[in-house]
Amino acid sequence: MTVTPIDPAYRPGKIIALHLNYESRIAQRGRRPAYPSFFLKPQSSMAYTGGTIERPAGTELLAFEGEIALIIGAHVRHVDDATLGWAAVSAITAANDFGVYDLRYVDKGSNLRNKGGDGFTPVGPNVIDATGLDSGALRVRTWVNGVLKQDDTTEKLAFSLGTLVADLSQLMTLEPGDMILTGTPAGSSVVLPGDVVEVEVDAPTAPGAPSTGRLVTTVTEGIHPMPAFSAGPKVDDLQREEAWGSRAEAGLPPLFELTDELKAKLHSVATATLSQQLRKRGFNNVSIDGLVPTHPASKVVGRARTLRYIANREDLFESHGGGYNAQKRLFDSLQPDDVVVIEARGETESGTLGDVLALRAKHLGAAALITDGGIRDLAVVTEIGVPAYHSGGHPAVLGRRHVPWDNDLTITCGGCAVQPGDVIVADSDGILVIPPHLVDELVNDCIAQELEEEFIAEVVAGGEPVKDVFPLNKAWREKFEAWKAARS
């Protein structure tokens, strides 16, 4: 397998880049694309064999993305499958898809400003002949100041390298020399002036383990500030988190976490108590109403993952109902303690999920399934064991009444607004939706309330009238405090 230096005279007609592809990056981002999503980079963004990249003056979030770049070797149009797509690739090389998150807001989607700057697409230093290469056995690694930051292979991609070529060829002719950047794995992060970034692509299991060598780029500080007529830098904590790769890496305080300690506390208190404490705080519309549980004795504590169905319309079901739709994407991305909450408009004449999705939810550790629509295969779903709340069983498939439209957005289920990340607590009394910022204080007050109620129940069971103990008057409160102290 031939490895040759990249030709400094090489000028691709098109540079096409992919948003998400590696499973590690998809997990980090928390969203899974249904189809490949591309953007264009200008030819002038290329830098051969690395060199330097200038972080624009006034910006803070220049991020690297080590990638495998495909070089097309033939005219390609209407390729039918991934095998033929990969056959159209003549060579591969290393690339770094740099981006400035500070400018992302202006051209989000097209990425022109944040990824199109001069030197923002270094490639090289060598190219590997693709003949005989296994497209599923390539590796990309990235180092920053000598520390390995990215290390992943093409064995498990959302979209194979050949699929990318085939997909692009449906609408445009790919020409010899065109370059496709195939996505970056997890580990992409921010670099600062003075940092040195190195990217290497190789085929470690191929004969001779051919490698592109290391593509070396040094970050420098820009000296030309943006003029008033141009969109200037703008960042927020979300941009910082995405650029750095995590809140911790960005130096941001952690978001609310449903810890084991919090879960244990929530399991220990009744929804009736939680409801009362929520009402004291002015939250009266936080219950999902009218649903039937498959496991009435189960207590559920988890965090909401939301899914929205719209009313069926034939053309919309055609575009959104089949394939890897929002419903399947959500269920495939579930994590332990997630609670699926489905907006089905209270429609009871169709199923909204069935046994296969319930099995997937169980395998991934989901805490519960909640839908204000019907459940198909209700007996089997009940037997699978993931607690479910529903409006009844129904044998019809999804497309009879519903189109799976979108996931992880604010929805209404059972008359209650639910946002992704809301804390869900359910027991035999019903289902509550708790805003995360209230949970710590709320559950501690509930524990205190239930301790007081335990004392009241004890003295009432002993024959005391409720007149002075429910609620406690001053004298009985003193007795309660003594009782509590004796227990501690």
Residues 302 and 446 in one domain: no
Q: Mind listing the pLDDT tens digit for each residue in 108-120?
A: 778 999 999 999 9
How much of the chain exceeds pLDDT 70, in percent? 100
Q: Examine residue 158 and state whether it is found in any structural domain, yes or no.
A: yes
Q: Mind listing the pLDDT tens digit for each residue in 55-78?
A: 999 999 999 999 999 999 999 999
Q: Examine residue 367 and state whether it is found in any structural domain, yes or no.
A: yes
Q: Examine residue 182 and state whether it is found in any structural domain, yes or no.
A: yes
DSSP state of 256: P
Residues 356 and 426 in one domain: yes
Residues 420 and 453 in one domain: no
Measured from the Cβ of residue 421, the count of other Cβ atoms closer than 10 Å reads 15
What secondary structure does DSSP assign to 352-372, as a single string? S--HHHHHHHHHTT--EEEES
Residues 230 and 314 in one domain: no
pTM of the predicted protein model: 0.66
Residues 165 and 192 in one domain: yes
Residues 459 and 364 in one domain: no
Q: Mind listing the pLDDT tens digit for each residue in 227-277?
A: 999 989 999 988 999 999 988 899 988 778 899 999 999 999 999 999 999
Residues 318 and 361 in one domain: yes
Indicate the pLDDT class of residue 9, thresholds 50, 70 and 90.
Answer: confident
Residues 140 and 98 in one domain: yes
Q: Of 219, 214, 237, which is closest to residue 63 (Cα–Cα)?
A: 219
Q: Mind listing the pLDDT tens digit for each residue in 325-357?
A: 999 999 999 999 999 999 999 999 999 999 999
pLDDT at 301: 97
The Cα–Cα gap between 438 and 266 comes to 12
Total count of domains within the chain: 3
Instruction: Identify the CATH number of the domain in which residue 55 sits.
Output: 3.90.850.10
Residues 75 and 144 in one domain: yes
Indicate the pLDDT class of residue 211, thresholds 50, 70 and 90.
Answer: very high
pLDDT of 45 > 90? The answer is yes
Q: Examine residue 252 and state whether it is found in any structural domain, yes or no.
A: no
Q: Examine residue 265 and state whether it is found in any structural domain, yes or no.
A: no
Q: Examine residue 133 and state whether it is found in any structural domain, yes or no.
A: yes
Residues 348 and 321 in one domain: yes
Q: Examine residue 251 and state whether it is found in any structural domain, yes or no.
A: no
pLDDT of 34 > 90? The answer is no
Kindly give, in sequence order, each residue whose CB lies less than 8 Å from that of residue 388, ignoring residues fewer than 6 positions away: 293, 294, 295, 358, 368, 369, 370, 371, 375, 381, 382
Residues 476 and 381 in one domain: no
How distant is the alpha carbon of residue 58 from its chain centre? 30
Q: Mind listing the pLDDT tens digit for each residue in 286-314?
A: 999 999 999 999 999 999 999 999 999 99
Q: Of 450, 416, 134, 414, which is closest to residue 272 (Cα–Cα)?
A: 450
Rounded to an integer, the average pLDDT of 146-157 is 96
Rounded to an integer, the average pLDDT of 441-449 is 94
Residues 165 and 199 in one domain: yes
- Residue-number span of the structural domain to which 117 is assigned: 3-244
Q: Examine residue 464 and state whether it is found in any structural domain, yes or no.
A: yes
